[in-house]
Amino acid sequence: MTYQELVKKVIEENGTVLNRVDPKAVDTLIDYIVNAKQIQLFSMGRCQLSVRGFAMRLAHMGFPSHVVYDTVTPAIGPGDLLIGHCSANNVELNVIQQAKKAGAKVVLITPCLDTPQAKLADFIVELPGQIFGAANEVPSIQPMASLLEQALLLFTDIVVMMLIERQGVSMKKMQERHTNLEGLPHEFA
């Protein structure tokens, strides 16, 4: 396939995944975020890239957010929220079990609906990108779980935009919360 053909197919696949998400589930996810004392996020592998991006944007909006296992991540407990991306392996199962034991709520964004992880979740947003080839997953020409990984990043960016609107967060406030240690030239700061 040519580059242009691949671009068209990858964008089409992501559109299919994102359009299959239940809008009511997105609203419920936003309610969980808004009502949490603090938010911790977790995933492994390339899915963790979307976790880190989401945690960063939540922090820019003023939500206390942390990535599980980072050295500055505090304890989790009642009133807190763990958001898991994908959540299909035993390490993720352990994290979910520990969060539940500590009294936190757990929300998963995943195509994996019939797993021990899903059974422990308080709420699930089904994001049906290919990971294992299950019947509910959007099939992909891309290798392994690439479609899911991309869709997680796009989905959480869309959730961020919805949170910005719902919470009335200004871009100026978000920029003020962004790191100022990058050394941007004065005209961009």
Q: Which of 3, 21, 37 is nearest to 152 (CA)?
A: 21
Give one word for 91, left, alpha or beta, with left for phi > 0 and alpha for psi -120 to 50. alpha
In residues, how long is the chain? 189
d(CA 89, CA 116): 9
Distance, in Å, from the CA atom of 64 to the CA atom of 55, rounded to the nearest integer, reads: 9
| Residues labelled catalytic | 149
Can you give the C-alpha Rg of the chain in angstroms? 17
Q: Are 101 and 76 in contact (CB under 8 A)?
A: no
Beta bridge partners of 83: 41, 107
User: What whole-number distance in Å separates Cα of residue 73 and Cα of residue 143?
Assistant: 32
Which residues 6+ apart lie within 8 Å of 12 measured at CB? none
